[in-house]
């Protein structure tokens, strides 16, 4: 029977192409937690976890993800009877609580291997893709309006992105709204502008902010209030015609069920890391679909491995009204694949080869990994 022979967990720090300002942190580097699995049938596979700003975004850090995989996940997996992904994940889920990001990295590697073994792209293992490519927005987060407008114009010109998300919540509401509306005005009515407040506002601030953003033609407001304040999120989405999206409050399929039942948001941002893995993200998307909510393919600013995995999952969603933000690899200064993911005509092509359908550049990764 096929077994897992070895699991290596690598921390890879890659500088970003410019500082990336969010309400909770300013990033100048992203740390990829890469999982490399080798199997008794000779297959080698990859998974990835990322978070944002150490412990600024979620309750797992890159270092805790590595430690927990090495110390707790790996012995269980090396002793597992087989490398069957569902059985291996069940084994982990029986013994390990939480650790959604670490579970995502491990499940991705298990499914990448299974896809390679069966000669099927991950999307087909998940039931089959409905989209060969996905729309991808770009996040403008330099913190400077003129720079953001210039950056957006370059992206439109290069046909890389024609939807933009602005990170706000750090500055006074009026300044943040003026910034978003100035970008919207400069780029014109055909370009969709969204904002992500990353939980920075209380309900009163959100009421004031969203009213002004709605007047300024902003299409979507992401997680305006604290993740725990779901009642406020529900009131805000009922009150405004501008779409309100759940992000940090959505940590897997059960959350989608709860949020959808209480009509908490108009749009659900599904992320593979935040959901706890590939199958959980797929299920989260299915529950959201059943509820009638609109879907969005989110990112934890994954590098190429997690971005490819996310693309396979989102390609199986029947509808993805607000597109995706699978731009993570483009924010990084180093390429870790021997053939980069393909971004063209405002979309990311979903890889076609078996498993994740990517070829990590192992020599490059060796030179980039943390000692």
Q: Which stretch binds ligand MUC (CB under 6 A): 29-37, 184-192, 224-232, 294-302?
A: 294-302
d(CA 247, CA 9): 27
Instruction: For residue 218, give the 3-state DSSP assignment.
Output: coil
Q: Which residue has the tokens 């003026």?
A: 178
Does the annotation mark 21 as catalytic? no
Q: Which stretch binds ligand MUC (CB under 6 A): 72-80, 285-293, 296-304, 360-368?
A: 296-304
Q: Which of 139, 156, 168, 200 binds ligand MUC (CB under 6 A)?
A: 139
CB of residue 247 to Mg ion, shortest distance in Å = 4
Q: Which of 112, 176, 325, 361 binds ligand MUC (CB under 6 A)?
A: 325
Site for ligand MUC in 1-40 (CB under 6 A): 22
Q: Is 298 in the site for ligand MUC (CB under 6 A)?
A: yes
247 or 289, CB closer to Mg ion?
A: 247
d(CA 102, CA 65): 5
d(CA 360, CA 131): 24
**Per-residue contact flags (x/-) with Mg ion for residues 204 to 233, judged by CB under 5 A:** ------------------x-----------
d(CA 288, CA 347): 23
CB 350 within 8 A of CB 311: yes
d(CA 364, CA 175): 42
Kindly report the number of other CB atoms within 10 A of residue 338's CB atom.
Answer: 12
Q: Which residue has the tokens 């491990």?
A: 106
CB of residue 215 to ligand MUC, shortest distance in Å = 24
Q: Retrieve residue 159's tokens.
A: 């046909």
d(CA 101, CA 275): 8
77 or 140, CB closer to ligand MUC?
A: 140
Q: Is 196 in the site for Mg ion (CB under 5 A)?
A: yes
Q: Which of 31, 299, 307, 310 binds ligand MUC (CB under 6 A)?
A: 299
Instruction: For residue 351, give the 3-state DSSP assignment.
Output: coil
Q: Which does 336 bind (CB under 5 to 8 A by kind): ligand MUC, Mg ion, none?
A: none
Site for ligand MUC in 99-138 (CB under 6 A): none
Q: Which of 107, 196, 255, 361 binds ligand MUC (CB under 6 A)?
A: 196
Q: Which does 299 bind (CB under 5 to 8 A by kind): Mg ion, ligand MUC, none?
A: ligand MUC
CB 321 within 8 A of CB 245: no
Which is catalytic among the residues 66, 167, 184, 282?
167
User: Which residues, 6+ apart, have CB-to-CB distance to 304 below 8 Å?
Assistant: 328, 329, 335, 336, 337, 340, 341, 358, 360
CB 226 within 8 A of CB 205: no
Q: Is 302 in the site for Mg ion (CB under 5 A)?
A: no
Q: Is 247 in the site for ligand MUC (CB under 6 A)?
A: yes
Q: Is 247 in the site for Mg ion (CB under 5 A)?
A: yes
- Residues with a known catalytic role: 167
Question: Which residues make up the interface to Mg ion (CB under 5 A)?
Answer: 196, 222, 247
């Amino acid at each position: 029977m096929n077994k897992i022979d070895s699991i290596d967990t690598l921390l890879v720090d890659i500088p970003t192409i410019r500082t990336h300002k969010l309400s909770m942190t300013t990033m100048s580097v992203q740390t990829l937690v890469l999982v490399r699995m080798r199997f008794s049938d000779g297959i080698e596979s990859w998974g990835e976890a990322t978070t944002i700003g150490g412990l600024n975004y979620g309750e797992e850090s890159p270092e805790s993800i590595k430690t927990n995989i090495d110390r707790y996940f790996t012995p269980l997996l090396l002793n597992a009877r087989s490398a069957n992904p569902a059985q291996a994940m069940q084994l982990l889920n029986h013994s390990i609580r939480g650790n959604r990001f670490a579970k995502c990295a491990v499940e991705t590697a298990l499914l990448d291997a299974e896809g390679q073994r069966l000669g099927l792209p991950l999307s087909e293992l998940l039931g089959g893709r409905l989209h060969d490519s996905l729309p991808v927005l770009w996040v403008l987060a330099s913190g400077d309006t003129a720079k953001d407008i210039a950056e957006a114009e370059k992206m439109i010109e290069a046909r890389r992105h024609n939807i933009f998300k602005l990170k706000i919540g750090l500055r006074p509401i009026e300044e943040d709204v003026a910034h978003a509306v100035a970008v919207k005005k400069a780029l014109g009515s055909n370009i969709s502008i969204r904002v992500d407040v990353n939980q920075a506002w209380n309900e009163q601030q959100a009421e004031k902010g969203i009213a002004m953003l709605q007047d300024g033609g902003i299409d979507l407001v992401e997680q305006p209030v604290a993740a725990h304040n779901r009642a406020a999120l529900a009131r805000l989405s009922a009150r405004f015609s501008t779409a309100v999206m759940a992000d940090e409050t959505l940590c897997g399929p059960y959350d989608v069920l709860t949020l959808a039942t209480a009509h908490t948001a108009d749009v659900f941002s599904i992320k593979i890391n935040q959901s706890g893995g590939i199958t959980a993200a797929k299920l989260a998307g299915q529950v959201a679909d059943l509820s009638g909510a609109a879907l969005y393919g989110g990112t934890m600013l994954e590098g190429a491995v997690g971005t490819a995995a996310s693309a396979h999952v989102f390609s199986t969603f029947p509808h993805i009204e607000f597109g995706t933000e699978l731009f993570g690899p483009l924010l990084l200064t180093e390429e870790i694949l021997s053939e980069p993911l393909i971004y063209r005509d405002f979309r990311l092509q979903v890889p076609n080869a078996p498993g994740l359908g990517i070829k990590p550049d192992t020599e490059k990764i060796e030179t980039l990994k943390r000692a």
